[in-house]
């Protein structure tokens, strides 16, 4: 024992000597460092303008979506990983039979005008969506009309479904409106209500000013979450890409949100620009009207539909028209979703094989006019597109490729109400972007039951595909759902009921002055602000004491 104690003593003395020697080499200095500071205005330039700062009406205008996402919140939010996260809801539960959902709300939420947020606001908002005259997305209306909604108490809501529906919680991401400001309004009058440009929400920012050329947001002092260090966010609107680029060059803006692809190269050449990119949960698709069999008989033939897709060099289109801002897509499922089958083959670019398919189907040029025909009618149709410049360029690219193969295609631009044209099936073929959210369930786009009044705009009527979709949406076993969705994709590849083109890539630009920006996966373009609480524009200099070893 004595020997052990002596060794302990020797080690202690030696350690003390070494510590003294080490401390003699340490120098303490005071240095000036920069730390994040509160304040400043983040100015973002965008093409276009604001229409509705209202979560029930914002779906069709990306700028509306972006602004609304900072002002309003839903019960939940969907991440790019397809998981749901609580927001206004504190938690939720589902019954054993999958039909009853109970949501418990956060008790600490207030509207930006100071009024308390309660379950009555949720019920009010959902009743607007359920109304027959609701002017927003009809898929939301149809879903909520089939749900029994009960307010249990001020902080609890019960939803009862007619049948099990695992995708249901994803419909709770819609922003909630304040009942105390809108009670008594008819759903159809939402379109003209002044609330749309002077709203009150529960999100991290509130609307301070709205004009034709800008929307100014300020931090919401009643927001219960982590506040942004940035005091204000200003959305500035420009009529042309040249004006937008000039605003960047003159330091009038700090970022570009809904950025045209043609600005990417000019911005990459500038030293003060940082570009962030991510694929969006969308696909660009050409719907073919399969319900107009007498006028468009060629669309009834899967070989003709497949040939139309095989005539398109989609990667070439992405490289030229979209300036690389897209990823070739085949399936109506996103390639990063669990329901996507990576081993399923789809038609690829092959003009020679497409020519053979068309000829075997009886579509050849019999009269030498350069247009294929079946001996009695030409292979000709109109391709409808919105007035979005990028979409028009894509439409012209498609039309040129088809014309080269002897198909007469006229591009028709609908600058007023493309959604009404879709709803009324008043088109031959139409180019649109389809936005997906949350659960990958594609029932509303392709099931037979959605032909009349739903979003099966092409009118694809395939019983086997519909059975797979219906089984996939009601099963609570994810592995069983995968089996059903793999069956659906196999049928889709064989039938080619619509021409899936690409998944868009969203790119936005920020100056180096906008600090601590972290790129997160995007469920929508508004998600670029998902980490705005960590951004900062200003810094303070502080003196810190630090020790340095010599």
pTM over 0.75: yes
pLDDT per residue as tens, the chain (550 positions): 444 445 454 544 455 544 445 445 666 677 777 788 999 999 999 988 899 999 999 987 889 999 999 999 999 998 766 678 999 999 999 999 889 999 999 999 999 999 999 999 999 999 999 999 999 888 789 889 999 999 999 999 999 999 888 889 989 999 999 999 999 999 999 999 999 999 999 999 999 999 999 999 999 999 999 999 999 999 999 999 999 999 999 999 999 997 888 898 899 999 999 998 888 888 999 999 999 999 999 999 999 999 999 999 999 999 999 989 999 999 999 988 889 999 999 999 999 999 999 999 999 999 999 999 999 999 999 999 988 788 899 999 999 999 999 999 999 988 667 878 888 899 999 999 888 877 888 998 999 999 987 889 999 999 999 999 999 988 888 899 999 999 999 999 999 999 999 999 989 999 999 999 887 667 788 889 988 999 999 988 877 776 666 6
Long-range CB contacts (within 8 A, 24+) of 76-79: 76/169, 76/170, 76/172, 76/173, 77/173, 77/523, 78/170, 78/173, 78/437, 78/438, 78/523, 79/521, 79/523
The predicted pLDDT at position 81 comes to: 67
Radius of gyration of the chain (CA): 29
Q: Do residues 539 and 296 touch, judged by C-beta distance below 8 A?
A: no
Q: Residue 216: helix, strand or coil by DSSP? A: strand
Per-residue CA distances from 1 to 6, 153, 533 (Å): 9, 72, 61
The predicted pLDDT at position 25 comes to: 65
- CA 75 to chain centroid, in Å, comes to 18
Alpha helix (H) residue ranges in 321-407 = 351-360, 389-404
Report the C-alpha gap between 98 and 394 in whole angstroms.
43
Per residue, the 3-state secondary structure of 247-277, as one string, reads HHHCCCCCEECCCCHHHHHHHHCCCCEEEEE
Region 282-504: CATH code: 3.10.105.10
DSSP class of 297: G
Q: What is the largest CA-CA distance in the chain?
A: 114
Report the C-alpha gap between 227 and 244 in whole angstroms.
29
Q: Do residues 247 and 238 touch, judged by C-beta distance below 8 A?
A: yes
The residue among 452, 484, 464 whose CA lies nearest residue 333 is: 484
Q: Residue length, the chain?
A: 550
Question: Which position has the token pair 């939420």?
Answer: 109
Report the C-alpha gap between 330 and 501 in whole angstroms.
7
- Which residue ranges make up each domain of the chain? 73-194, 282-504
Question: Which position has the token pair 């810190």?
Answer: 544
Q: What share of the chain is helix, strand, coil (3-state, %, to 5)?
A: 35, 25, 40
The residue among 69, 44, 43, 41 whose CA lies nearest residue 55 is: 69
Q: Do residues 517 and 13 touch, judged by C-beta distance below 8 A?
A: no
Report the C-alpha gap between 77 and 66 in whole angstroms.
14
Superfamily of 73-194 according to CATH: Dipeptide-binding Protein; Domain 1 (3.90.76.10)
Report the C-alpha gap between 312 and 354 in whole angstroms.
10
């Amino acid at each position: 024992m004595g020997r052990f104690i002596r060794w302990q003593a020797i080690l202690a003395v030696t350690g003390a000597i070494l510590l003294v020697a080490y401390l003699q080499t340490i120098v303490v200095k005071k240095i000036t460092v920069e730390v994040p500071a509160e304040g400043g205005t983040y100015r973002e330039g965008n093409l276009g303008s604001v229409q509705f700062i209202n979560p029930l009406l914002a779906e069709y205008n990306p700028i509306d979506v972006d602004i609304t996402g900072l002002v309003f919140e839903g019960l939940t939010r969907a991440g790019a990983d397809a998981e749901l996260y609580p927001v206004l809801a504190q938690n939720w539960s589902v019954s054993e039979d999958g039909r009853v959902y109970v949501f418990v709300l956060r008790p600490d939420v207030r509207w930006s005008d100071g009024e308390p947020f309660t379950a009555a606001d949720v019920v009010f908002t959902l009743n607007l969506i359920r109304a027959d005259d609701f002017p927003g997305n009809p898929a939301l209306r149809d879903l909520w009309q089939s749900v029994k909604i009960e307010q249990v108490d001020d902080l609890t809501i019960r939803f009862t479904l007619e049948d099990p529906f695992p995708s249901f919680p994803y419909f709770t991401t819609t922003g909630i409106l304040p009942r105390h400001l809108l009670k008594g309004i008819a759903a159809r009058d939402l379109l003209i209500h002044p609330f749309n440009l002077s709203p009150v929400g529960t999100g991290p920012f509130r609307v301070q000013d709205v004009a034709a050329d800008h929307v100014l947001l300020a931090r919401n002092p009643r927001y219960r979450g982590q506040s942004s260090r940035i005091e204000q966010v200003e959305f500035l609107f420009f009529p042309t890409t040249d004006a937008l680029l000039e605003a960047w060059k003159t330091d009038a803006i700090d970022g570009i949100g809904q950025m045209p692809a043609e600005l990417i190269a000019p911005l990459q050449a500038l030293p003060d620009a940082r570009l962030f990119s991510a694929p969006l949960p969308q696909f660009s698709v050409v719907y073919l009207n399969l319900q107009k069999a007498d006028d468009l008989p060629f669309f009834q033939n899967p070989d003709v539909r497949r040939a139309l897709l095989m005539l398109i060099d989609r990667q070439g289109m992405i490289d030229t028209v979209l300036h690389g801002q897209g990823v070739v897509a085949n399936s109506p499922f996103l390639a990063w979703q669990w329901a996507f089958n990576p081993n399923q083959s789809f038609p690829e670019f092959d003009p020679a094989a497409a020519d053979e398919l068309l000829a075997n189907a009886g579509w050849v040029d019999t009269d030498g006019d350069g247009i294929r025909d079946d001996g009695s009618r030409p292979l000709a149709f109109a391709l409808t597109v919105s007035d979005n410049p990028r979409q028009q360029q894509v439409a012209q690219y498609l039309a040129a490729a088809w014309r080269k193969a002897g198909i007469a295609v006229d591009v028709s631009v609908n600058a007023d109400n493309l959604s009404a044209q879709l709803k009324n099936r008043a088109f031959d073929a139409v180019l649109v972007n389809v936005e997906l959210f949350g659960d990958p369930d594609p029932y509303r786009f392709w099931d037979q039951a959605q032909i009349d009044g739903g979003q099966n705009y092409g009118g694809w009527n395939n019983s086997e595909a519909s059975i797979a979709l219906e089984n996939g949406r009601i099963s609570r076993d994810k592995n069983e759902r995968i089996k059903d969705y793999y069956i659906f994709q196999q049928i889709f590849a064989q039938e080619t009921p619509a021409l899936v083109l690409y998944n868009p890539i969203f790119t936005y630009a920020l100056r180096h002055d906008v600090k601590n920006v972290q790129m997160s996966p995007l469920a929508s373009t508004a998600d670029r602000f998902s980490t705005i609480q960590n951004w900062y524009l200003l810094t303070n200099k502080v003196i810190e004491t630090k020790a340095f070893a010599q």
